[in-house]
Amino acid sequence: MLRLDGATVRFARRTALDAVDLEVADHETVCVLGPSGSGKSTLLRAVAGLQPLDGGRVLLDGADQSGVPVHQRGLGLMFQDHQLFPQRDVAGNVAFGLRMRGASRGEQAERVAELLDLVGLPGAGPRAVAALSGGEQQRVALARALAPSPRLLMLDEPLGQLDRTLRERLVVELRSLFGRLGTTVLAVTHDQGEAFALADRVVVMRDGRIAQSGTPLDVWQHPASAFVARFLGFENVVPATVSGETADTPWGKIPVAGGIQGAAQVLVRPSGVRLLPEADGLPCEVLARTFRGSHVSLQLRPEVGPLLEAECEFGGAPGVGEVVGVGFSARGVALLPPE
Ligand code: ADP
Ligand code: MG
């Protein structure tokens, strides 16, 4: 449905999009995930026609969009600050795209009611936008973007302004809503939780380039690089030399499932760090112990090598200051290419 072919955008001091190739299929939800400044908003603006390309092409349903103005691309846009019109009521906001298309008053009213039901705000049409909570404004912005039945819905940090509980709830609602409507969605966010919960496919961006693309499970289980692993929140990433099924690391030799040989990096998931009696493993001092809801997360200072993040069950979690032994299980270790 959407295809970017070598899309490139250069600003005076940097290349914000560097020859990006990306496809989004009909009914697919793709989430672009990357740190601030990685080019996510520029990507959406380029697809929308708000940002001219310095190279490459944007195609929608096979048609090159160069020269096609924003309002003729058939896109629904919802940006970071949802930019509702403060002087219009909820219905006036949701009807905006329909008015632009010249829909009759009756059609507008019917569609507005339908969309407010859909986003969980039935009957909210006459309410003033300023009197809505952040979560309600977000829903209105979504209803407004969906009203003209866009062929592609684009969301820029859609839930960024909301508090965590609301965000987690809305993400689940959005996913089920997009599933029911069959909407094709391209969303961008810096929040991995949001991306992984929303997406059929996650595209990780770094400095204007695609660092990895795959299903949430793929990317989570097999990060393509140390950058992706660290961005996902994994901290135990170190250089290593691999020989057969053993990696030589700053923490000593650890077992690996095989793959890359020679120079590499290893990612040790917290679940791959096993706590043993002190004499049976790498001696580590417990620096911090954090309750996480489903487990306890430990920060360990090993006798050699950088700090280690581990996790264990509530029962028997060692206390701060205690010394434990650490072993590694190959199942919790992934090999990554050298930096
Ligand atoms: P993200 O949305 O991932 O935070 P952006 O796409 O907004 O990133 O920006 C990518 C890079 O391009 C950043 O370094 C940003 O400073 C730069 N940039 C974005 N828009 C402009 C602009 N209009 N003029 C100059 N530089 C820009
Ligand atoms: Mg942005």
State how far the Cα of 202 lies from the Cα of 188, in Å rounded to an integer.
10
Domain architecture of the chain: domains with CATH? 2-226 (3.40.50.300), 234-333 (2.40.50.140)
Whether the Cβ atoms of residue 292 and residue 247 lie closer than 8 Å to each other? no
- Burial (CB < 10 A; 0-12, 13-18, 19+), residue 38, is buried
pLDDT of amino acid 71: 87
Decide whether any atom of ligand 1 lies within 6 Å of the 18 Cβ. no
Within 10 A of 313 (CB to CB), how many other CB atoms are there?
9
pTM value is 0.90
Measured in Å, residue 40 CA sits from the centre of ligand 2 at 5
Whether the Cβ atoms of residue 296 and residue 289 lie closer than 8 Å to each other? yes
Q: CA angle at residue 72 from 71 to 78, to 5 degrees?
A: 45
Whether the Cβ atoms of residue 124 and residue 116 lie closer than 8 Å to each other? yes
For residue 39, the 8-state DSSP code is: S
State how far the Cα of 265 lies from the Cα of 248, in Å rounded to an integer.
10
Backbone phi, then psi, for 129, in 5-degree steps? -60, -35
Decide whether any atom of ligand 1 lies within 6 Å of the 120 Cβ. no
Within 10 A of 259 (CB to CB), how many other CB atoms are there?
12
Measured in Å, residue 205 CA sits from the centre of ligand 1 at 13
The pLDDT tens digits along the chain (339 residues) read: 999 999 999 999 899 999 999 999 999 999 999 999 999 999 999 999 999 999 999 999 999 999 999 989 999 988 866 689 999 999 999 999 899 888 899 999 999 999 999 888 999 999 999 999 888 898 899 899 999 889 999 999 888 777 888 888 888 888 998 998 899 999 999 999 899 999 999 999 999 999 999 999 999 999 999 999 999 999 999 999 999 999 999 999 999 997 899 999 999 999 999 999 989 999 999 999 999 888 999 999 999 999 999 999 988 899 999 999 999 999 999 999 998
User: Helix and strand tally (H, E) in the chain?
Assistant: 9, 20
Measured in Å, residue 289 CA sits from the centre of ligand 2 at 34
Mutate to test the pocket of ligand 1, among 8, 20, 41, 205 (most ligand atoms within 8 A of CB): 41
Decide whether any atom of ligand 1 lies within 6 Å of the 36 Cβ. yes
Decide whether any atom of ligand 1 lies within 6 Å of the 34 Cβ. yes
pLDDT of amino acid 82: 63
Whether the Cβ atoms of residue 163 and residue 116 lie closer than 8 Å to each other? no
Helix (H, G, I), strand (E, B) or coil at 111: helix
Decide whether any atom of ligand 1 lies within 6 Å of the 292 Cβ. no
Measured in Å, residue 15 CA sits from the centre of ligand 1 at 9
Q: At what angle do helices 134-146 and 105-118 cross, to 10 degrees?
A: 130
Q: At what angle do helices 164-181 and 134-146 cross, to 10 degrees?
A: 20
Which is the closest atom of ligand 1 to the Cα of 42? 6
Measured in Å, residue 41 CA sits from the centre of ligand 2 at 4
Whether the Cβ atoms of residue 188 and residue 25 lie closer than 8 Å to each other? no
**H or E stretch including 178?**
helix 164-181
State how far the Cα of 109 lies from the Cα of 174, in Å rounded to an integer.
23
Within 10 A of 294 (CB to CB), how many other CB atoms are there?
8
State how far the Cα of 47 lies from the Cα of 154, in Å rounded to an integer.
9
Helix (H, G, I), strand (E, B) or coil at 27: coil
Decide whether any atom of ligand 1 lies within 6 Å of the 332 Cβ. no
State how far the Cα of 234 lies from the Cα of 308, in Å rounded to an integer.
10
Q: CA angle at residue 98 from 96 to 102, to 5 degrees?
A: 115
